[in-house]
Structures are given as structure tokens and as C-alpha cells.
Structure 1
């Protein structure tokens, strides 16, 4: 199935209710489970990743298929490792290609009992839940922050607490800090000094929680605004002082012609006349937004050089490869200067006929490329419902502000 997207006949204008943060929702669900809490989680994300997490945590079986939900795979691996019982954790074909040995090795070093049912180093996993008594583990600092967050979430419940030593450069530090900040809201004290994190044995506080809006989801509306000739949007549900590292998009989008105005009621975004000549940025703290910025910068004819993208190759797809291939259909010649980098120097070639953007089972590919509709008539997106992973009502909200969407 394809969606054909056509831009509004008038300027973009309206109110968008930003969906709840998937990242926060999934962390709080694990915390609630660890504290045996029945307190409500208000404004919980309804995306596939959060729904799958909820289904597993409230299931009465011991075999769990989490589909494409990467966050759920990482967090549940650590959670189930300390819950007494025998568990099988599997996922989609793509999930079986996403490495998890870094997390499994760390958990086994702490005393967990996890083995691979198929390919060594990859799901599916057999987990013998047990009392984990280890108290110290070392990880490469440039590994996925989800591995580190998975360990941190269970750390207070371990008999001896947990000390994590990170070797070398730390990528996605903001996601690690977000995990610690959310844990602090539930009463957990921690120390994060240099490349070492320590969490003592403690008890999570049982309390109700309200999830804030998702800054990653907001990035797509910034992209539409950056490419629109004129317009103004009110984005509802976001916090100015957010735990989410992706809130840093405000400053980066200011270089691409979008200004943000915060008020007591929320925030407005609209065009400015200020754009940079070249966008050079290290996405170490917000790698999930690289696709959005690559598409916007290219469409605005702004050369760019992005760094800090080391983790993009093990996401839902190899996102660097996917960006290079799909933007080539539009005539943009992107390349990878070094591992974890992506650049466009302004070089162009003839664009393809009858362009269909492939999404590679990656929700962010669909949403990052949708704003092309502002400049290319009737852009087509393949497998559009992949957005259910993080933003189930994305297409409906596009219709609400005037976009036309036809199913092919």
C-alpha cells in the first residue's frame, strides 16, 4: 500500500496535539512493573512500541513477540532477566537482525541466564529469570543508549545496586540522562560522573505519572513549517524544559528558517527569514532526528555535514543507507564521509521518474520524507502505516491541517 500526499491549498495553519513520548512511556511502564504499582500512567503513548510493552507486562504467558519494537526488546530483556521464570523474547525478521549481544553479555556478566535460540548475538532470546547479584559492568560508551538505560532501570532493584563504567566516547548521553531524571522522579538517587554511573539498591516510589508530549514527533511539524511558504502552527503538549534531548531541535531548526515562540498556553512555530549557508551538526545527543534534518536541508538546498550517527545503522533499518538511497531518487547525492557521518555538498543528478519513497519498516523514514509534499506534487510513501510504531494518528493530523492523502 502507498499513500499519495498533496499539500494544502492554503497556508498551513492550526493546532496539533503532539502524541505522548514513547521514550518516557516505556521507561515509566518498566518502573511501574518493577515497583508493582497500580497507579495510573496518564497520557500513556498508544504507539505500537508502548502497546507491545503493556501487553507483555500484563500477559499471563511466557513467550513474547514484540514485532519491530526495539525499545521493548532492550528494556524487556533486562526486566525479564530478574523476574523469576522461563521467558522467550522474539520479534520480527528485522528485529532478528538487530544485535543485542552488548546487553546480553552485560546482563550475563552480572549473573543473568540468557541464551540465543537462533543466531548468536541476536534475538530470539531464552531468558531464565533469576536473582541478579552482580554489581559492576563495563560497556563501550558508543553503544546504544537503550542498552545502558535497560540496565539502569533495573539497577535500583538489584541486591548490590549497579555501577556502569563506560569506555571511550559516550553517544546519546541525553537519553541516558533522561532515564536517570525519570528514575529520580520516582525517588531514585544516582551518580553520573565522567564515564561512570552508580545506582545503589533502592525502592521505586509508587505514584501516578503523566507523560509529556514527544519532541521527536514534533520534529516533523517543524519540517513541514521549514518547507512551507507561509503558515503558523500551535503545538500542544510539549514542555520547554524537557528531559528529552530531542527538544534541542528548537535551536537547530532556527538555522533552517523556523522560529519557536513559547507562551503560557503552549508553543507556536512559524517561518523566519534566517537560514544558514551550511548545516554542520553533531547529532550525538539526538540521533533520531537526523533523517528529518537531512530531508529538510536537502530540500532547502542547504549543504550539510552530520556527525554522531554511529547508532543509526542498528535502528529499524540502516538509516544512513536508507537516506542516501531515497534522497537519490530526488536527485540529491549524499555520501558517508566516515563511519557515523552523513553529508551533502550540493551535488545533484537527475531525479527518478514516478518517485515512491520506501520506508524499510522504519516509522521515521515515512514521517521524515512526508514533508517533501510541500515542494513535490503528489509524493508517494510506501508502507505508510509503519508510523503506528510511534505516531499512530500522524496521517489523520495531516488531513486536519489541509493535506490530501489518497491510498493507492
Structure 2
């Protein structure tokens, strides 16, 4: 979604329907690199489109791989096939550990000169254990900043380095499993004539992610032999071959949010729980075992090979004590589920959280406390006790630390029993793995209509209310209703249908208005799929719209249509009677005006820029006539609502009017500064 500063979630009431998950990040970036290292071309289907996969694709292009994006999650990768990657190269890898760690290992073994960097947080995520293992082999890898952390320089301008492969390569396994994954994916490039052995020092964490790596290596022709979780052997003669086509399974970590949703939320009327499509009970991803934890807390879960069905079972949920080593990412969702459990939930063996996109243990504890929970934080554990009663819940603005999983987890707090809104700061951070998360969430959840916030912006023609409403909606991530466009659209549709705008045709015009196939998309207005944005702004259509709006049956037909725009997460509606007639209980009402001279000058400038000849005097006369007509009509005349805030924009810029409305809105929200 758009990088808005925050997204306010109203209290959510129930959930139901189906959600199709995006492809797995862990599988997507592994598949991309394996395809890049292989001989031949690999067709990758259902690839995740996210920040992390985009930085990987960009890096592969820089290195000389063929990358053909076909759209719809289909990408064709033509591998290097043993050729030297393009060098020198500077690779920016954002905050994608699934790109930084494996690419470091592969490029260090393939030879060439490279610099690998990322965002500031990536430079705080450890990589020293992987670099130590590569240096054992004879690779020249240098730190460009702090010891043990990116950015890195790989210096093998003369080609492939001479490697020391006789002894086992040792790597720590207790900080990040990505170090082992990186070696497992890179070392087959050197296994021409001898077995390559990797030994893990310490307890290997996140074993299910290593399972994913091994499964995918096998798909690309590398049969790694495993002795427990401490010794891995890559057989001599191993060589990457494209499987031709590979399908990326939907993301099991992302499934955790909707499994939790099904466990927390009451079922929507007429819906049999929540159906999750794209991942099933036999997934190769370790995070699918989140199902076991959710069931232990009380969720009712069934499924098949490619789908899951979830319903709320035990309520309140049961508190659990769980070693989360096997589901480190999905375990974050359990921390928020604990808010709805009876008793104290304990999550242990989560030390790896501290070296993820942020220090997730501290971040989780801090934000849970904002909501009213009691949290005991340790080096590798959290103990979470929910608020004792609805009265102890607090409306909170959740800081997300540029961490996608923090944003997605805490959206579930909007089901709190106190019916308080929840603010998610920087909601766009979900683009790292699930860009459409909030759209998917809103598609399967419902709120009481009265809980969905509405901002009304009314005012006379050419006061700038349409521009203001669109800007405010974009800043808040809310839906937009241009009610004036509905009357213009009715006038246009009537013209296209050959229906004269006359009181004698009121019934036919009302029937036409009731079924308008209208959609607002950014700043475009679509009628039956056609962009009619400019057409309906013509002055003749505007005058016809005013005539249409005076017909009571047409206005009544459009009332239900306008009410239907009140959808999650909120609505900004502009028009002439939004605050007086359509949404009289709106949370904020603004009456925007400007002098007739100022409005005429603005409209003149707008029309001249479009090549339409007119004069300011004629425009002013038209506007004054339109104002008089709108104010004097018997049905819903143009006037400020009694509780509207008046805003004269005659001497203000667009940015200043937007800032004023946002200030008024912020003052009415329950979140502390």
C-alpha cells in the first residue's frame, strides 16, 4: 500500500470469506538465486512481488542474469550456468537478509569485485559468522563499516579464488539459520571433484528454514546428505540444473495472521469461518506448524493440500507456554493472540528475534504494553498477560520499526473487547513481504457501520473540495467518495442513454442513478470501466448535474449508493450535503469555501491549461448562479452543517488546507501525541 504516515483501524467486529495469500518470501528469494546459479532457464510461477524480491531481481540483473518479468507472478530467469557474474558491481539489497546473506556467499565463491550494502537496519544485522566461514575457505571479504556487519566488499578481481576445501567448513547456527542456508546454496558451485562438508557449531535455530533450503536444492539437482542438524555433505560432482518450471508456494508466515484472525474473530453472518488459499497442511514451510500452536490456544483448523479453514473455537483463547524455535517468524503472531487469552502466555527460545528487521523482543514488549498488556521481557523469551478487563485496554499508536511483521501482527489488536481503534504507524512497511496485506484484511473483516470513520468536506462549486478530499483520503489511507461526480455521472449516463434531464423523466433518471457502475481509482473516475474524469468536468455536464440533483427521486436513489462507500478503514466524502444529509453523524465535517472571484480564477486557470477558452467574468457569473441554485433548492440545499468547521481557502495553498483538515482530524483521535 501507499506509504502513508499511519493507518487507523476502527474496532473490528467479525471475519469471514476467503483470502488468497502471496508467494513465500523465503521460497521466492531462494528460488531466484538457485535459478540464477543454474544452467538453463527457469520459469518461476507465483513469485512474491515485494520489496525483498525486487532487490534480489535487481541484483540478478546487475550480475548478468536474464530476468524476464511477465506479470502476474511469472518470471523467467536465465542462469549464469557456471559463467562469471558481471563485475565490478555495487548491489543495494535493502533490508533483505534472504538476499544479503546468500548473495554474499555465492559471489565470494564465484569471484569478482562487489560491494553489498542495504538500508541502515541491514547494516545492524550480523553477518560475521558467515564471513568467518567464507574466510576459512580463502575468500577475501572485507567489512566497509562495523566489524561483523554489512556493508561488505568482495575482492576477487582475478576470478575465482583458490579455496581450501579439504577440511569441513564450520559455521555457527545459533544466531541465524541464513548463514547455513547461504553456504548450502553457494558451495555446490565448488563441488566439482570432492565432497564438501559443512559442520554447524552450536544449536541450530530455525531448522524448518533449513528444511526449505534442502527441499529446493533437491529441485535444482543438489542432493545434500544430512546427519542430524550438525553435518551436511554436498556430494562431489554436484551441479545446478534448472527444473524448467517451479511454483512458489504461498507464504506460511503470512498465513499466521489469518489463522489468528479466524481464531480471534466471531464469524461473519452467513460465513463458515475463514478460508485461506495457497498453502495447506503439507506445506514444506516450517511456519505451517503455527497451526499446532493456534490449535493449542483454541482455534478450530482443518485443511487440505492447498488450503486451510479456520474458525473460532475456545473463547477466550487458552494461554500457552511454547518453545518457538521452529516458528520464529510466525511466533510473533502468537504474541498478539496472547492479548485474547486467559492467563499468561510464554514464548521461549526466540533470541533470534533480536537480530531481525528490528529487535523484535523489545519492540513487541513495548507495543503490547501500550495496549494495556503486562509483559515480562527476557533475553530469549516473552511472557504476556492480557489486560484484565475491557476497561484496561488502551487506544494505542503502534510503532512498527520498519518491520513488516510488527504491522501485520498488531492489526489484529483492532478486535479488542473495548472497541478501541488501533493506529498502525508506517503501514507501508508491509511491502517487504505482503504489499496488499491491509486490502486483504479489509476484504474479510467487518466493522459496525457507525465505527467506520467518515470525514465530510462540503462546499460550493470550485471551492477545491475535490482536491482537498482526495489529498486527505490519500494521506489517511481512506476510501474516497466524490458525490458531485455521482450527479455528473448520472447526467453523462442520461445523455449516453438519450434520456432528457427533465422532471417528466424523473423515474427513469432515478433508476439509472441507482445502478451506476461507478468506481473511484486514485484521481480517476470510471464509469462502466471507462475513464470519464475529464468528460464529467465539462461545464455543460456540471450544469446538467445541478439540474439532476434537484430531482428528489434521483437524490434518493443515490443515497444508498453513497452509503455503500462507507467501508474499511474509513471514508472521506466530498459534496454539498455530505454532512447535512448523507452522513449527519460524521466524525469530522468541514465546510470549505472561497470567494466567487477566487474560485473563478482557479477554474479559469484550470480550463485554460486544458485548451478551453473562457473568461473569468463569465465563470464568476456561472458560479454565482450555481451557488444561488444550490442554496435555494428545496431538497438538501447547500449549507454548512451546524457542527461543521468553516475553512476559507481563498488565501491558502492546497497543502495548507490539507494540513488544517489533518490537524482537526488528529485532534479528534484518541491517540496521544
TM range (shorter): over 0.9
Q: Distance in 1 between matches of 2:370 and 2:179?
A: 35
1:94 aligns with 2:147: no
Whether contact under 8 Å (1:155, 1:200) holds in the other structure is no
Cα deviation for residue 16 of structure 1 reads 0.5
Match of 1:220 in 2: 257
Residue 24 of structure 1, aligned match among 14, 24, 27: 27
Q: Superposed, which structure 2 residues align to 1:138-153 within 5 Å?
A: 138-153=170-185
SS in 2 for 1:273: coil
Q: Distance in 2 between matches of 1:87 and 1:327?
A: 42
Whether contact under 8 Å (1:227, 1:300) holds in the other structure is no
Cα deviation for residue 352 of structure 1 reads 8.2
Cα deviation for residue 240 of structure 1 reads 1.9
Residue 54 of structure 2, aligned match among 25, 29, 51: 51
Match of 1:192 in 2: 226
Residue 366 of structure 1, aligned match among 400, 407, 414: 407
| TM-score, scaled relative to structure 2 | 0.58
Whether contact under 8 Å (1:255, 1:274) holds in the other structure is no
Q: Aligned in 2, Cα 1:265/1:29: closer, same or farther, shift over 3 Å?
A: closer
More displaced, 257-266 or 138-147?
Answer: 257-266
More displaced, 192-201 or 380-389?
Answer: 192-201
1:134 aligns with 2:161: no
Cα deviation for residue 280 of structure 1 reads 0.8
Q: Distance in 1 between matches of 2:151 and 2:427?
A: 27
Q: Aligned in 2, Cα 1:224/1:100: closer, same or farther, shift over 3 Å?
A: same
Supply the RMSD in Å over aligned alpha carbons. 2.2
Residue 425 of structure 2, aligned match among 345, 362, 382: 382
Match of 1:69 in 2: 96
Q: Aligned in 2, Cα 1:406/1:117: closer, same or farther, shift over 3 Å?
A: farther
1:243 aligns with 2:284: yes
Q: Aligned in 2, Cα 1:141/1:96: closer, same or farther, shift over 3 Å?
A: closer
Match of 2:569 in 1: 405
Q: Aligned in 2, Cα 1:80/1:321: closer, same or farther, shift over 3 Å?
A: same
Q: Aligned in 2, Cα 1:346/1:374: closer, same or farther, shift over 3 Å?
A: closer
Q: Superposed, which structure 2 residues align to 1:1-400 within 5 Å?
A: 1-8=5-12, 11-59=14-62, 62-129=89-156, 130-131=160-161, 133-135=163-165, 136-159=168-191, 160-194=194-228, 195-201=230-236, 202-207=238-243, 208-231=245-268, 232-263=273-304, 266-273=307-314, 277-337=318-378, 339-345=379-385, 354-375=395-416, 376-400=419-443
Cα deviation for residue 273 of structure 1 reads 2.6
Cα deviation for residue 147 of structure 1 reads 0.7
Whether contact under 8 Å (1:262, 1:268) holds in the other structure is yes
Q: Aligned in 2, Cα 1:329/1:275: closer, same or farther, shift over 3 Å?
A: closer
SS in 2 for 1:58: helix
Structure 1: runs of 5 or more not aligned: none
Cα deviation for residue 133 of structure 1 reads 2.3
Cα deviation for residue 287 of structure 1 reads 0.6
Whether contact under 8 Å (2:185, 2:217) holds in the other structure is yes
SS in 2 for 1:335: strand
More displaced, 269-278 or 297-306?
Answer: 269-278
Q: What is the number of equivalent residue pairs in this alignment?
A: 406
SS in 1 for 2:313: strand
Q: Aligned in 2, Cα 1:352/1:234: closer, same or farther, shift over 3 Å?
A: closer
Q: Distance in 2 between matches of 1:323 and 1:386?
A: 16
Cα deviation for residue 161 of structure 1 reads 4.5
Cα deviation for residue 7 of structure 1 reads 4.5
Whether contact under 8 Å (1:299, 1:372) holds in the other structure is no
Q: Aligned in 2, Cα 1:299/1:163: closer, same or farther, shift over 3 Å?
A: same
Cα deviation for residue 322 of structure 1 reads 0.5
Cα deviation for residue 2 of structure 1 reads 0.5
Whether contact under 8 Å (1:44, 1:211) holds in the other structure is yes
More displaced, 197-206 or 115-124?
Answer: 197-206
Q: Distance in 2 between matches of 1:340 and 1:332?
A: 19
Q: Distance in 2 between matches of 1:39 and 1:140?
A: 32
Q: Distance in 2 between matches of 1:294 and 1:273?
A: 17
Whether contact under 8 Å (1:7, 1:402) holds in the other structure is no
| TM-score, scaled relative to structure 1 | 0.93
Q: Which structure is larger by alpha-carbon Rg, 1 or 2?
A: 2
Deviation digits for residues 123-145 of structure 1, max 9, x if unmatched?
A: 11111243462332112331200
Structure 2: runs of 5 or more not aligned: 64-87, 447-567, 572-661, 663-673
Deviation digits for residues 358-379 of structure 1, max 9, x if unmatched?
A: 0011100000100111114321
Higher normalized contact order (CA 8 Å, seq sep 6+, divided by chain length): 1
